[in-house]
Amino acid sequence: MARPVTLFTGQWADLPLQTLCAKAQSFGYDGLELACWGDHFDVTQAEAEACDAKRQFLGQHGLSCWAISNHLAGQAVCDLIDERHQTILPGHVWGDGDPEGVRQRAAEEMMQTARAAASFGVPVVNGFTGSSIWHLLYSFPPVPPAVIDAGFADFGRRWIPILDVFQEVGVKFALEVHPTEIAFDIVSAERAIEAVDGHPCFGFNYDPSHLAYQGVDYIEFLYRFRERIFHAHMKDVTWSSTPALSGVFGGHLAFGDSRRYWDFRSVGRGRIDFERIVRALNEIRYAGPLSVEWEDPGMDREHGARESCEFLKRLQFPTSDRAFDAAFGD
């Protein structure tokens, strides 16, 4: 199955979209997954005329779009808000910085993102959810189960109304399962689905890099949530095979520090088995794009984006509808 290979623009938001389109075309990409920051996609300026113009602009560079992403606003829906959020949020969402006001405005922004995606003609919005209980990851002082229950209930209460808007406009929301979110592994992903009452518009933006270094079975994730894999990020990661100076929690070290136990890598240069991923995606009949989220602190991003695209296009193959030994049958 030859899926389109796209480039997520979140790590390229410092570049004007016009510049990035020319680069992505030269790298060999089929399209872009547009981030809702920088000048790449503004959910407050998504009238039909503006959306038509953006699609025509992408088309002039031989590019299409299958998803937009609003991780930044989504993060603020459930988070414990502090000064860090001001650096990632639009001014109209941050407002006066009152935490509950920020959360409510972030929820409205995600509803508007669903409407903007529908106007633009894409079926999926990728993003984060935030979490009111991520800071309780390690249970000391002991965390009563009721506190965790309340955190998932808070997620459901805040996100079901957002998901209802997604359903109204015919768009899916794909959570990127990720540390700091309400779901960061298989168990918490199952619980997140329960918290939104199995809402049909809630699913996942699959990214193996956030699962593998934790020790989570990133292939089983695909099979277990096959009906809810709405999008797929391609990002690699490596981790130490021997005892390291810092562990899974990172030791408060910046990405790229050699003392880290794990770090992100350009696709094909880490420890993720992308061959198994592609075969599993074929088996669950995922037909969406493979979207490169390029993050490698030790490599030039243009080099990495180009070789990631080439790697994924080489890795794909047509599937067969016949058994290899069918020629020996009657």
Model confidence over 222-259: pLDDT tens digits?
999 999 999 999 999 999 999 999 999 999 999 999 99
What is the pLDDT at residue 317? 84
**Residue spans per domain, the chain:** 5-315
Tokens standing for 133? 């209980």
- How far is CA 71 from each of CA 85, 229, 246, rounded to the nearest angstrom? 12, 17, 27
Task: Answer whether residue 274 shows pLDDT above 80.
Answer: yes
Task: Answer whether residue 325 shows pLDDT above 80.
Answer: no
pLDDT per residue over 151-171, tens digit each?
999 999 999 999 999 999 999
Which residue type does 17 have?
Answer: L
Pairing of β 262-265 and β 236-239: antiparallel
Candidates 123, 85, 84; CA nearest to 105 is: 85
Pairing of β 202-206 and β 124-127: unpaired
Per-residue DSSP letter, 264: E
CA angle 117/118/121 to nearest 5° reads 85
Summary mean pLDDT of the chain: 96
pLDDT per residue over 97-122, tens digit each?
999 999 999 999 999 999 999 999 99
pTM score of the predicted model: 0.96
CATH number belonging to domain 5-315: 3.20.20.150
Give the DSSP letter string of 210-231: HHHTTT--HHHHHHHTGGGEEE
Q: With helix as H, strand as E and coil as C, how does 66-118 read?
A: CEEECHHHHHHHHCCCCHHHHCCCCHHHHCCCCHHHHHHHHHHHHHHHHHHHH
Q: With 0-12 CB in 10 A as exposed, 13-18 as middle and 19+ as buried, what is 318? A: exposed
